[in-house]
């Protein structure tokens, strides 16, 4: 069982890693391990697998509505992307998360609601 922490402290990947580690599930290092790459590199390296949107899964993506790098007048994507833990799915298909590192800031355990699933990948550790 891997218990070494491979992710930079305080960011989104650190938050998701610690969330699963607290449940006894250790996510191996993903190369390039930035949050948005978990949906591609994590799957191709066999660390993660794609799944459907549901509470308790990992959300990964690059789009501004998910990463928090866009504003009301500009839309830009983060070069790092973002990951978060899905805490709920709403009747309209949007979802809620708990996260860190949203928008380049580090509010640990930040809660965000009503996020569009468009261009977001949902994952579980293998």
| Structure token digits, residue 67 | 């990463």
pLDDT of 6 reads 83
pLDDT of residue 101 exceeding 90: no
Tokens of 39: 């949906």
- Which pTM does this prediction carry? 0.89
Name the fold adopted by 12-125. endopeptidase fold (from Nostoc punctiforme) (3.90.1720)
- What H or E segment, with its residue span, contains residue 20? helix 12-21
pLDDT confidence of residue 1: 45
Instruction: Flag the least confident range among 8-12, 82-86, 109-113.
Output: 8-12
What is the average pLDDT score of the chain? Answer: 88
Q: Where are the domains of the chain?
A: 12-125
Element (H, E) at 41: helix 41-44
Q: pLDDT, tens digit, for every residue of 23-77?
A: 999 999 998 889 999 999 999 999 999 999 999 999 999 888 888 765 544 455 6
């Amino acid at each position: 069982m891997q218990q070494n922490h491979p992710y930079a402290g305080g960011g989104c990947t650190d938050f998701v890693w610690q969330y699963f580690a607290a449940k006894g599930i250790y996510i191996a290092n993903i190369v390039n391990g930035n949050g948005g790459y978990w949906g591609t590199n994590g799957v191709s390296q066999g660390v993660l697998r794609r799944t459907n949107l549901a509470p308790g899964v990992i959300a990964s993506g690059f789009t501004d509505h998910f990463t928090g790098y866009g504003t009301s007048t500009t839309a830009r994507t983060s070069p790092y992307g973002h990951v978060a833990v899905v805490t709920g799915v709403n009747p309209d298909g949007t979802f809620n998360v708990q996260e860190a590192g949203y928008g380049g800031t580090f509010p640990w355990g930040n809660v965000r609601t009503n996020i569009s699933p468009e261009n977001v990948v949902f994952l579980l550790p293998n």
